[in-house]
Structure 1
């Protein structure tokens, strides 16, 4: 039996993710953001003051990748590092006013990309599709 990429969940998910990432990148680039920075900002907009280790865990990225992202974000004036109040050996990552100001335009860019991705879906289909995606993610995380 030959491999049929159009019937492969992995191929389709990967293809869709690349298309989505490219579209999002084009939409956030005018804001001066890269996708890894946007992903990190989403976590910090939810809870400012996380440590690098907490960001690595929440975003499921490599420590080195997060370190490089944070260096760029600090350089770009999006974050500042402070000594962690409970653990002087670590630093907490805090948003700057610039990063706080990017929340609405950046999340609007993501909403626009989501809308493009789901064009042609009814509201019920969107809900089912998102639920199926969450279930597939949960299955892969479990095993």
Structure 2
């Protein structure tokens, strides 16, 4: 079987490293820009939904959210329907960064997909969606405290 996950990992780490360097002056380090984008796109999202969307652990999300809040890029508000939940909203400052982050993402996509036909891009996108869905099942299984049997 071909080991595509190594290549996916290399790509993800390279793009994350580039973004961390380019966004350092914006106080968006260690992948925090990903959280900010999702909060901008889903204002009022709760942390648990963000954790599920990004497939990360709660502690990592908590640290990133705390830093985004400290840098005044997001705010937390009490959820009137469930007092345990805090709703996450971008601040004006956070919303001002959103277009820059999206431009960087679009640029990285164009670099990554250089030389691909529209058909190849669609096939790759569908295949990666399928891989993501397959991994999501294992992520949820392990997150609930189970061990995979390999």
TM-score range (shorter-chain normalised) is 0.7 to 0.9
Tell me the residue number matched to 1:74: 69
- Map of 1:1-143 to 2, 5 A cutoff? 7-142=2-137
Q: Deviations over 1:27-61 (max 9, x none)?
A: 33343322532111222122111222222222221
Distance across 2 between alignment mates of 1:29 and 1:127: 33
Distance across 1 between alignment mates of 2:35 and 2:79: 18
User: What secondary structure sits across from 2:89 in the alignment?
Assistant: strand
Q: Which runs of 5+ in 2 are unaligned?
A: 139-150
Q: Which runs of 5+ in 1 are unaligned?
A: none
- Under a length normalisation based on structure 1, what TM-score does the superposition of the two structures give? 0.83
- Under a length normalisation based on structure 2, what TM-score does the superposition of the two structures give? 0.80
